[in-house]
Amino acid sequence: MANGAGLSHYNIIGFVTIVDVDRAKSFYGDTLGLRLVSEEPPFALVFDANGIMLRLVMGKQLPPASGTVLGWQVPDIESVVHALGVAGVQFERYGFLEQNDSGIWTSPTGARVAWFKDPDGNTLSVSEHPEGK
């Protein structure tokens, strides 16, 4: 886009649809440790995800989703997976991927990824990426 009209200089906002507001509030706040910024019924719960606004949109039903809707890039996936496991997060197992005992898959590029679900069944992930990738 010409004349600086692009979006590369602006913060992104994450949107995830939820149905069970109380469970989502507890999961994202208590289990994942995100700070609740505001509650805006009947629209959204707003969390701070390390300076990124995450809006959990209050819906009557979940839209069909195929794949990961939200992920966090972490420096040490083993320690994050362990800490989340201690907090009660259960990691997904996929028969078509070769995952280690912690549920972590290593991609052909060397990125390491583990997936889990929120209380409404949205697929979330944590990933560790090699330098420069």
Model confidence pTM above 0.75: yes
> Which residue matches tokens 């992930």?
125
Q: What is the pLDDT of residue 23?
A: 97
Say if residues 65 and 124 touch (Cβ distance below 8 Å).
no
pLDDT of residue 7: 86
Cβ-contact 108, 97 below 8 angstroms:
no
- Residue ranges per domain, the chain? 2-128
Q: Strand, helix or coil at 101?
A: coil
Per-residue confidence in pLDDT tens, the chain, 133 aa: 455 568 888 899 999 999 999 999 999 999 999 999 999 999 999 999 999 999 999 999 988 878 999 999 999 999 999 999 999 999 999 999 999 999 999 999 999 999 999 999 999 999 999 986 5
> How confident is the model at residue 123, as a pLDDT?
96
Query: Per CATH, which fold does 2-128 belong to?
Result: 2,3-Dihydroxybiphenyl 1,2-Dioxygenase; domain 1 (3.10.180)
Model pLDDT, residue 1: 45
